[in-house]
Copies of this chain bind each other. A is one copy, B any other.
Amino acid sequence: MPDDLGLLLYLPHRELENRVFAALAEAGFDDVTPAQARVFHRIARDGSRLTELAEAARITKQTAGFLVDQLERAGYVERGPDPTDARARLIRVAERGRRAIPVCLAAIAEVQREWTAHLGRPRMVALLDALARLREITDPDL
């Protein structure tokens, strides 16, 4: 199966993920997992509800709650009341979470530099453009 679209999408994602988590671990954030990161990533600036995170990440509320518990215990996020609905609670990025973000961004930028060097700038730009347009039809959160 030479040019399998599934594998072609999977491989660079795995590579990027490995690099980001290696960078995180090296910077002392060695207690976060990919599953936790996928939830963390979807937290809105002004906080998100558990149900929103679950929908965006396409996991059940229970799984999202389980992962947020871990993130909360490790200090990456914090839960507070939702002033507009007493049933809900707002999940926000906490101090340790805020400090981890630039480490991720730097690792992604580094990988992106390497890939640009390999592909050449025009092909890299075309790749990002195509992926961004694809997001319009593949992201339930959008």
Interface residues of chain A, those whose CB is within 8 Å of chain B, are 1, 3-17, 20, 38, 41, 58, 108, 111-112, 114-115, 118-119, 123-124, 126-139
Contact = CB atoms under 8 A, between A and B. Distances in A.
Contacts of A131: 5, 8-9, 12, 127
23 contacts: A3-B128, A3-B132, A4-B108, A5-B111, A5-B131, A6-B20, A8-B132, A8-B134, A9-B9, A9-B12, A9-B13, A9-B16, A10-B38, A11-B139, A12-B131, A12-B138, A14-B58, A115-B134, A115-B137, A119-B134, A123-B130, A126-B127, A127-B130
A112 B13 contact: no
Given A118-B136, A126-B127, A6 B11 contact: no
Given A12-B134, A12-B138, A118-B134, A41 B123 contact: no
Given A13-B13, A119-B130, 6 more contacts: A6-B41, A14-B138, A115-B134, A118-B137, A123-B130, A127-B127
Contacts of A41: 1, 4, 6-7
**Residue from A9, A16, A133 whose CB has the most chain B CB atoms within 10 Å:** A9
Contacts of A5: 16, 108, 111-112, 128, 131
